[in-house]
Structure 1
């Protein structure tokens, strides 16, 4: 079976082609190129390099969020367009779980972190090679997350390029139980997205229309609008 994997949930970009459980090729980069300009050329190049025509793909896996609102939207839109055009099934997987997969063999808890600005993060906690969920994907202030993690009283590996933004505070609260993933594990891989997606039942092609991103938080514009409505209601 030939899979195409797309990961654009945050600044890093990854695209992979996997055939019958083997990675034919994978692109992983963390450079300042917007996904709207870089994702499709990366897909075209990697397919050409492995000699796979688009209509030979049998399924598409995409990182469905949470993460950057723009990054998630671009990846999902691109994946949906390809899936519907090619009439192939589309499987979405958690972007946090994709990143955590890099550290699946860690003997403890795995905590991927994406910066959500103003001290907030998108995060989750997984455990073991099967990435069993300890804490579901969610949005929280870093202080709230660390309070939950401290109560777990277990070794925790923090993974992701954004961990550096919070590392001093993490060590302050978690202490000797805090571990930092090596730099080569901080970038998510589309091949991991494919591996996770391959464990799911393939949906019908018609379900592509109903596929939606998992932001785990409303957009900032919508949040501001709701805040304004509450203030107006309070004034009345």
Structure 2
């Protein structure tokens, strides 16, 4: 049996959770290029429409701060200033996925490097927007997490958080992330244990995890004695 792996991060939302580790880091799906620029434009328009519909459905199912986050994303997707550069790149010969990624990555950098906290906090929303449309372009749906899972990865999208049923337990352990992020705010308001800033870790982690979001620690591959002590 491999040795237990103990990682230390920063508490973002207090609590404890035990559950199967679920890898958040996406598997990149391959986009199939279209025959003409008109077809590429239609593919992007359709993908944006899919993402817009998903956000609208989520907004109907939530309220408060969560609805504010989703409404920001929806407004951005409906803003020609955001989508225009991607359509211009398609007209210049780029495939839809590359054009969209290029346009959104440029926007994301602007948000991440802003000297205002408000805009830096919105960078995660922009990444969420980018990835929702890319998933729609490749017809790639996010893998379903098991009940009570500990979500583990670089970061978690606000929409992923809001689509998860936390009533059965579970938690979040992020290699990066921030205690000031929108997801951290949502986790605190819903009592979902969360830690951030774990840093790099070995690949292909799996199995049961013990999340201590009171002190910022997580134990991967715990021994039976550690599980019993944790409980």
Normalising by structure 2, report the TM-score: 0.25
Instruction: Identify the structure with the greater strand proportion.
Output: 1
Pick the structure with more helix per residue.
Answer: 2
